[in-house]
Structure 1
Amino acid sequence: MKKYEYKLLTISAFHLNKRDFQAELEEKFRQWGEEGWELVKMEPVNGGTWIFWGRTSKFLTVFKREKI
């Protein structure tokens, strides 16, 4: 039976608008792909503060790879 390990990453929606952050994130995702990590889920998370109420304030990403 296959076994997997998981990696969770929370990304601020605010930071996604920054060009430098996007390039850094793309590089990190590329690196993890080379290491065998697969992005299996990306889910928006609504904020709970009065500023972000009802808006997506961050994203939860889930990566997995088979244990060797």
Structure 2
Amino acid sequence: MKKFEYKFVMISIAHLSKKSFRLELDEAFQKWGNDGWELVKMEPIPSDHIMFRDSKTDEFFTVFKREKAE
């Protein structure tokens, strides 16, 4: 049976507004992909912690997974 490991990353909207951070994040995602990590979920986290249609997002919760080496 396959076994997996997971990586959880929070990404701030404030950081995403900075071009240098977006480039750094792109490099990180490329490296993680090359290391076998797959982005399986990216979900906005509302700042008011209530899931309303017009709520403001301050950050994203991301989940990566890859198969464990036996």
**Both structures adopt the same fold (TM-score exceeding 0.5):** yes
Provide the residue aligned with 1:62 in structure 2. Answer: 63
The one-letter amino acid paired with 1:25 is L
Provide the residue aligned with 2:44 in structure 1. Answer: 44
Provide the residue aligned with 1:3 in structure 2. Answer: 3
How far is the alpha carbon of 1:17 from its aligned partner? 1.0
Which consecutive segments of 4 or more residues in structure 1 shift more than 3 A? none
TM-score normalised to structure 2 length: 0.87
Distance 1:35 1:25 in 2: 15
Structure 2 residue ranges without an equivalent (≥5)? 50-54
1:14 alignment partner, SS class: helix
TM-score normalised to structure 1 length: 0.89
How far is the alpha carbon of 1:2 from its aligned partner? 0.5
The one-letter amino acid paired with 1:48 is D
- CA deviation map 1:24-54 (0-9, x unaligned): 00000000011000000000000138xxxx2
Identity %: 56
Number of residue pairs aligned between Structure 1 and Structure 2: 64
Distance 1:6 1:13 in 2: 23
2:36 alignment partner, SS class: coil
